[in-house]
Chain A
Amino acid sequence: MTQVNRLAGGLIDRSRTISFRFDDKWMKGHPGDTLASALLANGVRLMGRSFKYHRPRGPLSAGSEEPNAIVELRDGARREPNTRATTAELFDGLTAQSQNRWPSLAFDALAINDRLSNFFAAGFYYKTFMWPAAFWEKLYEPIIRRAAGLGSLSLQADPDSYDKGYLHCDLLIIGAGPAGLAAALTAGESGLNVILADEDSLPGGRLNAETFGLGQQSGSDWAAEATERLAALPNVRLMTRTTVLGAFDHGIYGALERVSDHLPVPPEGKPRQILWRIYSRRAILAAGATERPIVFENNDRPGIMLAGSLRAYANRWAATPAPEIAVFTNNDDGHRTAQDLKAKGVTVAAVIDTRPDAPKGNGYEVIAGGTVTNTSGRLGLTKIEVTDARGTRRTIRCGALGVSGGWNPNVSLTCHQRGRPTWDADIHAFVPGGTLPEGMVVVGAANGRFSNHTALTSGADAAAQIATELGHSATRPDLPQAEDTPLALTPFWHVKGAKRAWVDQQNDVTAKDVKLAHQENFVSVEHLKRYTTLGMATDQGKTSNTAGLAIMAEVAGKSIPEVGTTMFRPPYTPTAIGAFAGRARGKDFRPTRKTLSHFWAEEQGAVFVEVGMWLRAQWFPRAGETHWRQSVDREVLQTRRSVGICDVTTLGKIDVQGADAAAFLNKIYCNAFAKLPVGRVRYGLMLREDGIAMDDGTAARLAEDHFVVTTTTANAVTVYRHMEFVRQCLCPDMDVQLISTTEAWAQYSVAGPNARKLLQKVVDPEFDISNEGFPYMACGEITVCGGLPARLFRISFSGELAYEIAVPTRYGDAMIRRLMEAGREFDVVAYGTEALGVMRIEKGHAAGNELNGTTTALNLGMGKIVSANKDSIGAVLSRREGLNAPDALRLVGLRPVDRSKPVPAGAHLMTRGSPVDAAHDQGYVTSACYSPNLGHSIALAFLKSGDTRMGEILRLVSPLTGVEHDVEVVSAHFVDPEGERLRA
């Protein structure tokens, strides 16, 4: 195929010819082309099928507002669906597939939907697929999704990377058309720190699409020169291929820079895209305007496009959809299309102008007061039917029709905060209104002032004003003479009587649908939008909203401003999820934290589990062990028989110092701390202010004014935050300081009957750690291994004689190796989190499963420890009647009557003979395991009035796992209930 519709001139690089593929055809284009311009040059107008009716469609526009020409770009894992052909820059080897068609673009079986369109009007789905409800998910939705849709995903991982970046500037200028360039020259030369962002690869905006001169230069030459001047200013950052997606609070903008989308693959080490967060003191919105179509019968055929876009294709990309064109307009701007294309050698069949007083043609026929009343051409426009002012119909042959209903200021970003566009009756369009984003000024066409002269001067004026406000002396550049024609437009929205006239081409919403919505009493514009889906496609209705409103206003007998407008939300154009994720993908979603025994544990072949962000050893399999239970049972039995070591570094550690440290702990723990002697540790239960248990741990008093508090691994951050809240907001005069030292210490639990003997080999001999010298719940600062400072706590989670020994983090690896070496004569075992869990369940210690955000101290069997003699967080509300009901849940132990049965966590408890339903629920199992010491399953559970039901036989029910058998209520202290081992 040759470039049959390639014209002369343009801003493409003809010195190079590049190849690209669309569906199964290879074609040629030039650098500087978009996929759409190259396809048009190659005589291809048909680029896609519509969403609902599978109507053949070609490009409507030449920019990011495009509703129709959306394709799947690239192959394999890089395939990107729903990409606008009008913005995809051509590169050598580009591949694209049309989408939403089967088996081919030219013959699409589902085009039958178009024939059935009477059934598919607005609200069709709501009305039709109502019954039976279960059919929606299983039957209707999958079928509809297959028939109506957009592109398909590759279903492979995205091979590219995305970055996030942060920029700061005095002034962000959005849009590098004449207004933006003039603003940037002014601000840049006045010394402001400026960012100029434009979604296009080539700065200049409409200057590159028009034939206007600026001074003695062409518009595009002036833009190129201005760009060079800006590039020479070190205080100006020019960001092309960068779409400002959203305006957020306090002058913050989000922008997407397409770093590598114009290349076959990103260069080595480069991201595909960068999501920028731009902090600006001020912003100038110079986003230009978007042309809007007129709605008429069969206005969606390939070849029918916006008149300004036809001009852009001819002037910038030297391409035309067809050698013979016509124009349908309600304003003078449409005539420019005829003039420009005629100058490029394209035949202009006619200009149909809805205004009876239309200007005369300049070498082409003008049909004043005429309208286009129908079109034909199955896969592309061949003829239009024109009705002239006298009502006479005639047919005009043409392969393309430029349509212009006027221009809409591009107000999207003004709406992202509290802006509400207002109707400007002079230009018949919505202009920025309401409260604009903080620090934003709108200039040029985006502000409803369309001439090049006003673009240049309003841009420069706004920048000069901002420069002065920010304390710079404004330097105004010489601006060229520019066109300053007043707008000449008579509103004309749609051709009356049209039935199949498309308002929103991407979502297949017709004029009839809008009328139907009104007929069915959808009065609000927001309801219209949701009922018909007008403006809800990926283009957010950039080319369709105004026509939809105008038609609604007409049927409602109101004016457009009375009907209102819909709002635009971020992002301005569709944005890949990958850009929002950035580098936070897969394992990089959040940091992985490793303890200091990690490498040693890896050497032992440990199996790890994620706990919060930490990796903790779950168990340490040995040769011959084929099931995790074998490893865990061995670790538990060996610890209880001799000695075991577990890394407990991940527990939160908070250093509390100051004269009021004890008073502070008294406040945050519900139990008493003031009288804890130096050198002793106490268990502490922290309540939330509502009386529910928040976290538990220990506090060790190292000195009169120095405590070390531990938290659970999962709550380390939130407990610290809470403690700072109490310190700063509730007790601001307490002399107390907090710092998290979780990362400062590597801590190991050494548990089992031989724990002391093992530690005596490590602890320096001047420290007495005998039972008398260092009893249960003692703590102290010691040295180990010949002088290394360490902390020793005699605390036990396992129920055995146990110590926790802490050394500075950098000695963590050495310490685990030394401990294991020292323990060899006792056949020491390393145990992981599973064995830890088994031993704490055997001892009836509550953990995260029990402190689950719904339980009180009373539920946990610790009601008595809530001190009545002092104020502490949560104490008052823990005394509420509702939390102290006689049948409140109590922590109990369970064992299966048939000892061979399991006791699954999450199972519920029922009295024997009662119905199995929520009303008869007696409680639930929170933690369960197999106890190798007892030889059967055991569990902890919350049971109504559980403390008075010891020995009762209940039914354990878990419909999910199919379990239903009897269990006996027992004490939660399965092993060593008297605590003799602890104190040994």
Chain B
Amino acid sequence: MLINHPLLGPRDASEFVYKGDAALINRPDPDAPDALEQFIDYGYLRDNPAGAHRELWFHEQGDRSWLVVTRNTLTHEITSVELARDVARREGRSK
């Protein structure tokens, strides 16, 4: 597979390490009253879609960017690649 790195252009998937569902960016609020339930959901429950899947890849053999890659699990078609940091900011994460 080729991943079109937003900064470096197309790179072979073998340069990357896969982590999984990009929902891992949405770490729950530890102070929420139901924090435990939310963290169990966050830590253990994953969607397993047949189709578009947003997932985290780490460019370990490269510039060490974490990327959010939108990949079709049926065809491996990659429709979007973004820096995870940009996605995280957009989704409201800060410090």
List A residues at the B interface (Cβ < 8 Å). Answer: 248-252, 279, 417-418, 435, 438, 660, 663, 689-690, 717, 721, 724-725, 728-734, 871, 875-877, 879-880
Contact = CB atoms under 8 A, between A and B. Distances in A.
A516 B23 CA distance: 52
A876 B2 contact: no
Given A279-B2, A689-B43, A724-B66, A731 B95 contact: yes
B88 A249 contact: no
Given A418-B75, A728-B65, A250 B43 contact: no
A876 B77 CA distance: 37
Interface residues of B, number: 39
A877 B42 CA distance: 11
A251 B78 CA distance: 13
Given A435-B75, A689-B43, A734-B95, A875 B89 contact: no
Contact of A725 (B19, B35, B40, B93): B19
B30 interface: yes
A838 B53 CA distance: 49
A877 B38 CA distance: 10
A731 B77 CA distance: 29
A445 B25 CA distance: 51
A546 to B, nearest CB: 28
B64 A733 contact: no
A660 B95 contact: yes
A883 to B, nearest CB: 12
A721 B89 CA distance: 20
A728 B36 contact: no
**Binding site secondary structure of chain B:** mixed
Interface string B22-47: 00110110110001100110111000
Given A689-B43, A876-B30, A729 B2 contact: no
A402 B74 CA distance: 44
A250 B76 CA distance: 8
Contacts of B95: 660, 663, 731, 733-734
A15 B17 CA distance: 57
Given A721-B17, A724-B58, A249 B2 contact: yes
Interface string B1-27: 110000000001100010100001101
B18 to A, nearest CB: 11
A731 B94 contact: yes
Contacts of A279: 2, 12
Given A250-B2, A690-B44, A731-B94, 9 more contacts: A248-B1, A249-B76, A660-B95, A663-B95, A724-B66, A728-B84, A729-B88, A731-B95, A877-B36
Nearest to B17: A721
Contacts of B88: 728-730, 732
Given A663-B95, A725-B19, A732 B76 contact: no
A252 B1 CA distance: 7
Nearest to B39: A876
A690 B24 contact: no
A876 B75 contact: no
Contacts of A417: 75
Given A734-B95, A875-B30, A879-B36, A729 B43 contact: no
Contacts of A660: 95
A26 B40 CA distance: 73
B94 A732 contact: yes
A724 B36 contact: no
Contacts of A724: 58, 64, 66
Contacts of B77: 438
A725 B39 contact: no
Contacts of A251: 2
A500 B36 CA distance: 68
Contact of A729 (B17, B24, B39): B24
B58 A721 contact: yes
B16 to A, nearest CB: 11
22 contacts: A250-B76, A252-B2, A279-B2, A438-B77, A689-B42, A725-B19, A725-B24, A725-B66, A728-B66, A728-B84, A728-B88, A729-B24, A729-B25, A729-B84, A730-B88, A732-B85, A732-B93, A733-B94, A733-B95, A876-B35, A877-B39, A877-B40
Contacts of B69: none
A729 B30 contact: no
B43 A725 contact: no
A621 to B, nearest CB: 39
Contacts of B93: 729-733
Contacts of B2: 249-252, 279
A871 B30 contact: yes
A721 B56 CA distance: 12
Contact of A728 (B12, B27, B75, B85): B85
A920 B47 CA distance: 38
B41 to A, nearest CB: 11
A249 to B, nearest CB: 4
A731 B17 CA distance: 20
A945 B48 CA distance: 39
A724 B85 CA distance: 10
Nearest to B74: A418
Contacts of A734: 95
A690 B43 contact: yes
Nearest to A740: B64
Contacts of B31: 871
B43 A877 contact: yes
Residue of A435, A724, A734 contacting most chain B CB atoms (<10 Å): A724
Nearest to B25: A729
Contact of A721 (B1, B44, B60): B60
Contact of A249 (B1, B36, B94): B1
Nearest to A690: B43
A164 B88 CA distance: 38
A248 B12 CA distance: 12
Nearest to A725: B66
A165 to B, nearest CB: 14
